[in-house]
Each structure stands twice: as structure tokens, then as C-alpha cells.
Amino acid sequence: MNASPHPTDDGDTAAKNHFVLKRRAHNLMIFELHNPSIVQLALRLKDHMAQAPNLFKNTPTVLDLAPLEDGFKVIDFPALVSLLDNHGLTIVGISGGSEAQRNAAARARLALFPAANQAPGAEPQLAPTQDAAPAKPAETTPSEAPSEVQADCASNMVMRQTVRAGQQLYARGGDLIIEASVNEGSEVIADGDIHIYGTLRGRALAGARGRKDARIWCQNLDAELVSINGIYRTRDSIEPDLIGKAAVIEIQQDKLIIRAFGFV
């Protein structure tokens, strides 16, 4: 019986020259996710990290889904990973979450850690109607899940229907063009520009991953919140005389400017 941890026959010796598998416990940062909304997170992170810039640099981090407590919430892992990456947190995997959420994470090539206080395998039950966001074509229908278009194909996203309360859209790596209205209680996000040919009543966030020259155009401004590159204004701070106008929102000298356009 050979008790040696490193067998010495020819084949294994050959492998050993190239790699060795070992276990080691690493101290990982835990990022507890309390709200999967990319917009909310982007805004909060911006505030939080502004106080302590360069605090993190490629810090290996595990995303803990347990605080969500809602296995139905669809999480846009690729968007989340790149958002956190921008802030120096390198997501290596997730812990907790429902089966659907864990499947979605696995599809995003994240490692699956067992939940902190949960035996592996004891997954919360999910109704079969719930699932992770399916891959969306460039022209999309609204879904509860944050929809997204991969940057490597068509990076602009076109939405024909009304974006309704509770829905999220994210045009990753490109512009978001919406032929209808964006209703109160919904969020539309783009790494590039956002064009809304209806009324903007919800939240719109352009230049989401850092682009000062991104803009938002809308045919009728009635927004809850607008943001470019993390600088935002809520409804309270939008000039009342611009409400109901066709407007463009842009950054000028580090300030978020809203101005009417067209035949004013």
C-alpha cells in the first residue's frame, strides 16, 4: 500500500511538473446582497466607494445571496459581476440563493459555495414558473428579470413595449432605445445612451459603467430619477418647468444638466 500523497509513477510525475492540486482556506470578502437592483447598487456603491476610493483592488469576494430571502428574484449576474469589478471586488462565486439563482450563477461561471447557515443541498423550493433571465435577442420583450444584450453581438437594445412597474432593462455595453413609455416603478439602464420615445416616468441611468458623455433623451420628462455616470437627480430636484417637456439629460462640467429640446 502506497500512502504517499504524491504517487511517483511516471504519469503522475509528469503531471506534477505542471500542476498540483491542494486545498487551502482563503480569507474571502463577503458581499451580502440585500437588493439585486443594479441601479440601486450602482448608486449606493458610488456613494460608498467615494468615501474610501481604492479601498479594494481585485479583492476576491463571495456574493452572499442569503439576505435576499426571495428565491424568485432574478439576478443579473454578469452585470453585477462587472459592476462590482469596477469597484475592485472580484466576484469568485456565490453562496446561498435559490436553485434558480444558483443555476443562473453557474451559467455566469461563478463558483457555488454552500450557504453560511445552510446545509449544502437544502435549497429553497421554487415554483416552476420562475427561472433565471433567458438569453434575450437584441430586440426584446419586457420581463421581470433584468434583460440584457451581450456586448459581443448587437450591443444596442430596442424595446417596443411599455416598460412597466417592477421591470428592469439593461443594455450592457450599448445604447437602449425604447419606443414606448417607461413607467413609474421601473428602471432602464444602459452603458451607453438611452432614448425614450414615450414618457419617462420611472428611473433612467445612462453611462452606467462610467461614461461621462452618455445622454438620456426622452420625449416627455416625468422621471422619478435620472442619472449619468452615477451623478443623479431625483424628481424633487428636476426643474418643474421641464416636466412634461421633451428633454435631454447630460453632464456638463461634472454637473447633471437637463434641458428641453425640439420646438419648445
In the complex, the residues that contact other proteins under the rule CB under 8 A are 127-131, 141-145, 161-162, 164-167, 180-181, 183-186, 199, 201
CA distance 15 to 130: 44
> 46 or 136, CB closer to other proteins?
136
> 84 or 169, CB closer to other proteins?
169
- Report strand pairing: 168-171 vs 147-148: parallel
What Rg value do the Cα atoms of the chain yield, rounded?
A: 22
Determine what percent of the chain falls in helix, strand and coil, rounding each to the nearest 5.
20, 30, 50
| Minimum gap (Å) between residue 26 Cβ and other proteins | 39
In degrees to the nearest 10, what's the CA dihedral of 189, 195, 197, 200?
40
| Minimum gap (Å) between residue 205 Cβ and other proteins | 19
> 68 or 91, CB closer to other proteins?
68
Up-side HSE of residue 241: CA atoms within 13 Å toward CB? 4
User: What letters, b where the CB count within 10 A reaches 16 and e where it falls short, cover 193-212?
Assistant: bbbbebbbbbbbbbbbbebe
| Minimum gap (Å) between residue 131 Cβ and other proteins | 7
> 130 or 155, CB closer to other proteins?
130
| Minimum gap (Å) between residue 166 Cβ and other proteins | 5
> 7 or 166, CB closer to other proteins?
166
Best CA proximity match to 73, nearest among 98, 96, 110: 98
> 223 or 256, CB closer to other proteins?
223
| Minimum gap (Å) between residue 196 Cβ and other proteins | 14
Cα→Cα distances 118→77, 95, 121, 207, Å: 22, 10, 8, 38
CA distance 240 to 247: 12
Element (H, E) at 258: strand 255-260
| Minimum gap (Å) between residue 225 Cβ and other proteins | 16
